[in-house]
Amino acid sequence: MRPRPHLALLLALGCASAPLDRSATAPREEHHQEAPKVCTLIGCVTGMTLMTIVPESPELLRVSRIRVCRNSTCLTHSLAELPPGKDTRLAWPAPPTGPFSPSAEFQMRSLPDGRTGLLVYYDSGSDTAWREDDVFTVTLTSADGRRLLDLKRPARYDKVEPNGPGCGTCYRAIYRESEDWLTMPR
């Protein structure tokens, strides 16, 4: 049997010799598995940060006491234990009293004009230990009883996710009384 003329033309062109393979032209259904979330290890603890300048010399501060409070939970420490140097820091209690206990850190930088830049941190020890009605106080008292710093502020917490969404959340109350000293040359 002779092929019909239109079928002969199709066979000659190679178009009708086999059923069409649709797999080459049909969109493939791909099975993607979500990649596991990779989180970095940037630390983040719920608490408070204060940046300020006091018109006092580092020498006067070294014979002072600091008290940092969140509501009625307070941490008090003598600054006499500050290591020597223009940029210095002190953390207490050392060692911490427990895995969910608060801690504080004090950092000081001597400025060229005789004033001192301060960073004060209060870490609650727990990412759930915060309330919108929290009040933070930071008091710096000289050896003769004078108040060198007396700050009392209601907390306005910011949500912080330093490793990105889904990789840990903490809440920080940040008080920037003055931070320009952070960029001054040492």
Rg (CA), the chain: 33
Q: What is the reported pLDDT for 14?
A: 36
Residue the block writes with tokens 């700050």:
151
Confidence of residue 69 (pLDDT cuts 50, 70, 90): very high
Asked whether residue 120 carries a pLDDT value surpassing 90, the answer given is yes
Q: What is the reported pLDDT for 182?
A: 72
Confidence of residue 144 (pLDDT cuts 50, 70, 90): very high
Listed in sequence order, the residues at least 6 apart from 66 whose beta carbon sits closer than 8 Å to its beta carbon are 76, 77, 79, 104, 106, 120, 138, 139, 140, 141
Asked whether residue 21 carries a pLDDT value surpassing 60, the answer given is no
Return the ∠ at Cα 179 (arms to 178 and 180), rounded to 5°: 105
Q: Quick check: 152 and 139 in contact, CB under 8 A?
A: no
Q: What is the reported pLDDT for 29?
A: 56
Asked whether residue 13 carries a pLDDT value surpassing 70, the answer given is no
Q: What is the reported pLDDT for 8?
A: 34
Token code pair at residue 170 = 């903490």
Asked whether residue 7 carries a pLDDT value surpassing 60, the answer given is no
**pTM (predicted TM-score):** 0.71
Mean pLDDT score of the chain? 79
Asked whether residue 58 carries a pLDDT value surpassing 70, the answer given is yes
Q: Quick check: 71 and 55 in contact, CB under 8 A?
A: no
Q: What is the reported pLDDT for 18?
A: 36
Asked whether residue 89 carries a pLDDT value surpassing 60, the answer given is yes
Q: What is the reported pLDDT for 117?
A: 92
Q: Which residue has the higher pLDDT, 16 or 136?
A: 136
Q: What is the reported pLDDT for 114?
A: 86
Confidence of residue 61 (pLDDT cuts 50, 70, 90): very high
Token code pair at residue 122 = 């209060």
Q: What is the reported pLDDT for 99?
A: 66
Burial of 105 (0-12, 13-18, 19+ CB in 10 A): middle
Point out the least confidently predicted range of 21-25, 96-100, 102-106, 166-170.
21-25
Q: What is the reported pLDDT for 28?
A: 53
